[in-house]
Amino acid sequence: MNTLRRYLPTAARLFLGLAFTTFGLNFFLHFIPMPPPPPRALTAIGGLVATGWLMPLAHVTELVGGLLLLSGLFVPLALALLAPVLVNILAFHLLVSPAGLALPLALLAAEIVLARAHRAAFAPMLHARTPLPAVDPGRPASRELHAAA
């Protein structure tokens, strides 16, 4: 059990990073043939494609998040970037195309394992009220702190 606890976050990080890097790159390079979307999804996907910017933005986000996970750098940031993408992937497969649900569920499991391993990084976001950081009186405050006050 100790070995599993030791290596599971690394395995989850590499799996999640490889999946998002691969599918992010595939949008631009088309090296994995994608099946046609189900008829119920054509309207939604057509709307996203019609914007001209939303699909590329989503796939660049996948690619950047995946590369961060593969490198092991800024893992909590990568998890925060990829979480909304993963929610949309899960919603799509739950509501429109349940046949392809296995991979999104595996990705969700990896995201949860990593979020739990990095829970200290997410703890401040889970407080209902978080005070502003104290300002050192000997140092001029930045504009951001004045604007927030």
With vertex at residue 125, the alpha carbon angle to CA 124 and CA 129, rounded to the nearest 5 degrees, is: 80
What's this model's pTM, rounded to 2 decimal places? Answer: 0.82
Written as six digits, the tokens of 19 are 């999946």
Domain count along the chain: 1
The position carrying tokens 């990568």 is: 78
pLDDT at 140: 61
Distance CA 93, CA 49 (A): 18
**pLDDT per position as a tens digit, 34-71:** 888 888 888 878 888 888 999 999 999 999 999 999 99
Distance CA 112, CA 118 (A): 10
Written as six digits, the tokens of 69 are 């996970």
Written as six digits, the tokens of 61 are 């986000």
Any residues with CB less than 8 A from the CB of 65 and at least 6 apart, and which?
17, 20, 24, 78, 79, 81, 82, 85
pLDDT at 40: 80
Distance CA 64, CA 61 (A): 5
Where in the sequence is the domain holding 122, given as residue range(s)?
A: 2-148
Residue ranges in the chain whose pLDDT is less than 50: none
Return the SS3 of 118: coil
Written as six digits, the tokens of 26 are 């595939």
Alpha helix stretches (DSSP H) within 30-140:
39-51, 54-71, 75-95, 102-117, 119-122
pLDDT at 144: 54
Return the SS3 of 33: coil
Written as six digits, the tokens of 78 are 């990568």
